[in-house]
């Protein structure tokens, strides 16, 4: 049944269907790129060259890497106002072409229109990427054009709406499905926000757990939290706030209160975790022990990987 779910739908049919593809030019400055991301409420965007051909993708992880780079290069300048201005200047004069896949975790690996969802997921998990462009080769003979961008969240959302198709397997506790405890990359809430983003860049992850001084989880901080503060003119200054203050500022932009550290336990079922992640539109959930200390993390990548593994097992042993 799971197999059917993923092979019966083509990538171009996956909701949300875009009317027009959002893109940026390689000559756009970072502030422009990020205004585009922010305006459309998206986390990544294809970059086109002068001939309108796609050359790659930019996402918030790339922007975080850029910010961290700028700080590291200019650290000699210190923390006074003029140093912030210099960094802002550098930031404003960096262009999309430079930032495209700066993190090297966002390569442009497309699928062709009409490919099945299963193909897209296989490409994503194999290459450890979070999104896959869909290209159409047949448009006006002008060469390939991007017609859609399939994200992990969109796929998880689709699975969530059809959760029964995963069968009884998904109702088992995650520890029975092979999800294990592992060291969680975390940061103390009194450290600087900048340290959190540096941690993300150096460990090549998109989010880290924020803990209090006793190691209990308080919140999740991820690359996309940067977007709330790029709206202000004092980006770099905000990075010197403590992680706690930074998260407070970001979370309070929304009038609606949201659980800041959505978490799960080893006894929770995969189905319930998927449902909650889809409802809250999050990309990872922390596994916690009875003291609310993070003992593991499950990302959308981990879930898709597990589902693929399950499908492969099913095809080998159909009687299971």
Partner 1 sequence: MNTSSLNLDYCIEKLQRGEILPENTIKEITDKMKELLIGESNVQEIRSPVTVVGDVHGQFYDVLEIFKIGGQCPNTNYLFLGDYVDRGYHSVETISLLTCLKLRYPSRITLLRGNHESRQITQVYGFYGECMRKYGNPTVWKYFTEMFDYLSVAAIIDDAIYCVHGGLSPSAPAIDQIKVLDRFQEVPNEGALSDILWSDPDPERDGFVESQRGAGYSYGKDVVMRFLHTNKMQHIIRAHQLCMDGYQTLFDNRLSTVWSAPNYCYRCGNMASIVEVNEKLERYFNTYAAAPDSLSNKPNLDTNKELPDYFL
Of 227 and 292, nearer to partner 1 (C-beta) is 292
Cβ contact 194:216 at 8 Å:
no
Contact between 146 and 23 (Cβ < 8 Å): yes
Nearer to partner 1, 139 or 258 (CB): 258
Q: Copy the structure tokens of residue 34.
A: 């990020």
- Measured between alpha carbons, how far is residue 44 from residues 40, 58, 68 in Å? 10, 5, 18
Of the listed pieces 146-154, 223-231, 236-244, 297-305, which binds partner 1 according to CB under 8 A?
236-244
Q: 254: which DSSP letter? A: S
Please give the Cα distance from 11 to 206 (Å, whole number). Answer: 24
Choice between 109 and 173, CB closer to partner 1? 173
Q: Can you name the residues that pair with 29 across neighbouring β-strands?
A: 95
Q: From the list 191, 251, 293, 301, which residue makes contact with partner 1 (rule: CB under 8 A)?
A: 251
The contacts of residue 69 (CB under 8 Å, 6+ apart) are 102
* One character per residue 34-73, x = contact with partner 1 (rule: CB under 8 A): ----------------------------------------
CA 91 to chain CA mean position, Å: 22
Torsion angle of the four alpha carbons 152, 154, 155, 158, in this order, in degrees rounded to the nearest 10: 160
What contacts 70, CB < 8 A, 6 or more positions away?
87, 90, 91, 94
Q: Which stretch binds partner 1 (CB under 8 A): 24-32, 36-44, 63-71, 248-256?
A: 248-256
Binders of partner 1 in range 203-222 (CB under 8 A): 212, 218-219
Contact 177, 292 (CB under 8 A): no
Binding of partner 1 by 171 (CB under 8 A) = no
244 lies in the site for partner 1, by CB under 8 A? yes
Q: Could you tell me the smallest distance in angstroms from the CB atom of residue 233 to partner 1?
A: 8
Of the two residues 57 and 208, which places its CB atom closer to partner 1 in the complex? 208
Query: Shortest approach of partner 1 to residue 80 CB, angstroms?
Result: 8
d(CA 282, CA 137) in angstroms, rounded, equals 33
CA-to-CA distance for 318 and 23, rounded, in angstroms?
Answer: 44
Residue nearer to partner 1 on the CB measure, 156 or 219 = 219
In the chain, count H helices and then E strands.
Answer: 13, 12
235 binds partner 1 (CB under 8 A): no
Nearer to partner 1 (CB atom), residue 141 or residue 255: 255
**Closest distance of CB 296 from partner 1, Å:** 15
For the segment 79-118, give every residue that binds partner 1 (CB under 8 A): 80-81
End-to-end CA distance of the chain: 13
Binding mask 252-291 for partner 1 (x = CB under 8 A): x--xxxxxxxxx-----------xx-xxxxx---------
Nearer to partner 1, 20 or 82 (CB): 82
Regarding 247 and contact with partner 1 (CB under 8 A), the answer is: yes
Encoding tokens for residue 1?
Answer: 């049944």
The residues binding partner 1 (CB under 8 A) are 80-81, 189, 212, 218-219, 237, 241, 244-245, 247-248, 251-252, 255-263, 275-276, 278-282
């Amino acid at each position: 049944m799971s197999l059917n779910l993923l092979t019966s739908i083509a990538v171009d049919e996956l909701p949300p269907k875009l009317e027009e593809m959002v893109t940026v030019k390689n000559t756009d400055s970072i502030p422009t790129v990020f205004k585009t991301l922010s305006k459309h409420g998206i986390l990544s965007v294809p970059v086109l060259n002068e001939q309108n051909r796609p050359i790659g993708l930019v996402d918030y992880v790339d922007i975080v890497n850029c910010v961290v780079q700028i700080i590291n290069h200019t650290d000699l300048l210190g923390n006074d106002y003029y140093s912030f201005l210099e960094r802002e200047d550098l930031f404003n004069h960096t262009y999309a072409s430079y930032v495209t896949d700066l993190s090297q975790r966002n390569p442009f690996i497309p699928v062709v229109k009409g490919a099945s969802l299963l193909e897209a997921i296989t490409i994503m998990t194999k290459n450890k990427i979070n999104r896959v462009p869909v290209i159409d080769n047949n448009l006006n003979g002008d060469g390939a054009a991007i017609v859609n961008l399939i994200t992990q969240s969109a796929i998880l959302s689709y699975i969530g709406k059809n959760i029964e198709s995963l069968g009884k397997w998904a109702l088992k506790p995650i520890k029975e499905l092979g999800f294990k405890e592992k060291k969680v990359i975390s940061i103390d809430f009194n450290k600087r926000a900048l340290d959190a983003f540096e941690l993300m860049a150096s460990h090549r992850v998109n989010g880290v757990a924020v803990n209090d001084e006793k190691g209990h989880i308080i919140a999740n901080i991820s690359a996309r939290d940067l977007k709330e503060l790029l709206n202000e003119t004092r980006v770099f200054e905000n990075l010197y706030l403590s992680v706690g203050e930074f998260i407070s500022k970001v979370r309070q932009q929304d009038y609606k209160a949201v659980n800041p550290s959505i978490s799960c336990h080893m006894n929770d079922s995969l189905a319930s975790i998927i449902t909650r992640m889809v409802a809250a539109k999050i990309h990872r959930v922390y596994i916690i022990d009875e003291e609310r200390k993070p003992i593991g993390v499950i990302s959308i990548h981990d879930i898709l990987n597990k589902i693929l593994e399950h499908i492969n097992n099913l095809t080998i042993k159909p009687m299971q």
